[in-house]
Structure 1
Amino acid sequence: MNPTIDTLLAHRSIRKFSSQHITPKTLDNILQCAISASSSSFIQCVSIIRVTNPETRQQIAALAGGQHYVASAAEFLVFCADYNRHQQIHPSAQLGYSEQTLIGAVDTGLMGQNALIAAESLGLGGVFIGGIRNDPEQLTQLLSLPEHVLPLFGLCLGYPDQQPETKPRLPQSILVHQETYQAVDKSELAQYDKQITDYYASRSTNSKQMTWSEQITTILSKESRPFMQQYLHKQGFSVK
């Protein structure tokens, strides 16, 4: 093991932060690590919006489903796939292709993960906020996002004021396939479901009785954010 692997394996979402500020130097290091992430064809189609205005933070917290830590975290960053910058450079750029949406999502995710890993390596914690997509129209207005900019997720950062348990992930026996795709091993899944049931029952906060399979069944039994395709098209993404 080494410090990098230790940091990765110790990951947990932090939703309660102390009042300690993040210094400009520390934030600069985190952002530079984010920017250093891999980029498909060196397109660099990501923008990060740092939101510091308390009122805007409160509004985003409400839009995200009442996630108060959006307002209380030392820093809140919004990660966006961004081809508007490219259009400014090349006004006749051919945009709107579905492949570009995929590239934007992948590159943005890589940059966000780099930022969080860097923060955790410095003793900070954080949590990604997919809830910013609950009302993308209002978020677009709040952040003055032009066409060809797509807000994908937020990231709260700060010094942890809690130590939640590490949530068990799917084992390699289910997640890693050898040579070709393989069906789920039901016995391995049953063991994981029991592990998750035990975890939910014993964790220090928000205990519940549910297997992972039951959780997935609940989530995927209905359409989530049915307005998203229309919003994507409005922002100029995946129109062709």
Structure 2
Amino acid sequence: MNETIDTILSHRSIRKFKDEKLTKEQIHTIVRSAQQASTSSFVMAYTIIGITDDSKKQALMEISGQPYVKDNGHLFVFCGDLHRAHQLRNKADKEQQELITETIESTEQFIVTVIDGALAAQNAVLAAESMGLGACFLGSLRNDINKVSDLLQLPNHVVPLFGVAVGYPDHQPELKPRLPIETVYHENSYMEDEEQEELINEFDLTLKKYYDSRSTNTRIDTWTEQMIRKYSNPQRMDVSAFVKSKGLNKR
């Protein structure tokens, strides 16, 4: 074990922050750390938008329904971005231009934007936590992805993926259990359903005890029940059409 692994294994989502803004130096350190993440073919297919305008923060908070979107040290919005790459087509010949557009609009390249953005964000969060800060990922910004895009004035081939709220923690939630390692790490081939179901049943009991014993927001719940609720309640079904309207994931 070392300090880096301790930081990773101690991760928890922070949803309540002290009223203290991050300094420009802290913000730049976090962004530079994000930039050092691995990236597919050196595309760096993401853009990070820092939100400092209070009215935009308020609008994003209303979209998400979560107060910590507004009340934090700094709000980052991570976007999948192939706009920069598409702009370069103007320097290519006609045949190349057509191929560039076709390639950029493929599902493969959309996956690249999502992976690049997620890797950068994980680096950013690890950097923030190593500095004594806390963070929370915000998929809830996709509750109205069209409105977020308009608010941030995103051009074609750029889509908002998620937000990350960062700041000085004002609470210390318990460490939430994760699925057993055997459930997510399989050797050589995918695990048989019966074996995985047994492990999930055991995890349900662990998670039930966690919810019942934690200091705040106690409840009776399991992972199985949460997943059934989640996937039987379709949400953000407009995201697919929005992404295609931005010229991504079309082929």
More moved, 175-184 vs 11-20: 175-184
What secondary structure does 2:159 align onto? strand
User: How far apart, CA to CA, are the structure 1 residues paired with 2:198 and 2:142?
Assistant: 36
- Say yes or no: does 1:188 pair with 2:187: no
Shift in Å, 1:23: 1.8
User: How far apart, CA to CA, are the structure 2 residues paired with 1:88 and 1:149?
Assistant: 12
Partner of 1:224: 235
User: Structure 2 length as normaliser, TM-score?
Assistant: 0.92
Note the alpha carbon deviations across 1:3-49, whole angstroms, 9 max, x for none.
Answer: 00000000000010012221221211111000110000111111000
Partner of 2:105: 96
Paired residue type of 1:100? Q
User: How far apart, CA to CA, are the structure 2 residues paired with 1:192 and 1:139?
Assistant: 36
Partner of 1:112: 121
Give the aligned CA root-mean-square deviation in angstroms.
1.1
Q: Percent identity?
A: 39
Shift in Å, 1:190: 1.7
Partner of 2:57: 57
User: How far apart, CA to CA, are the structure 1 residues paired with 2:240 and 2:18?
Assistant: 38
Partner of 2:93: none
Ranges of 4+ aligned residues in structure 1 off by more than 6 Å: none
Listed as ranges, the gaps of 5+ residues in structure 1 are none
User: Structure 1 length as normaliser, TM-score?
Assistant: 0.97
Shift in Å, 1:153: 0.2
Partner of 1:201: 212
Shift in Å, 1:222: 3.2
User: How far apart, CA to CA, are the structure 2 residues paired with 1:118 and 1:225?
Assistant: 30
User: How far apart, CA to CA, are the structure 1 residues paired with 2:199 and 2:111?
Assistant: 31
Partner of 1:71: 70
Partner of 1:9: 9
Partner of 1:136: 145
User: How far apart, CA to CA, are the structure 1 residues paired with 2:177 and 2:239?
Assistant: 30
Listed as ranges, the gaps of 5+ residues in structure 2 are 91-96
Partner of 1:83: 82
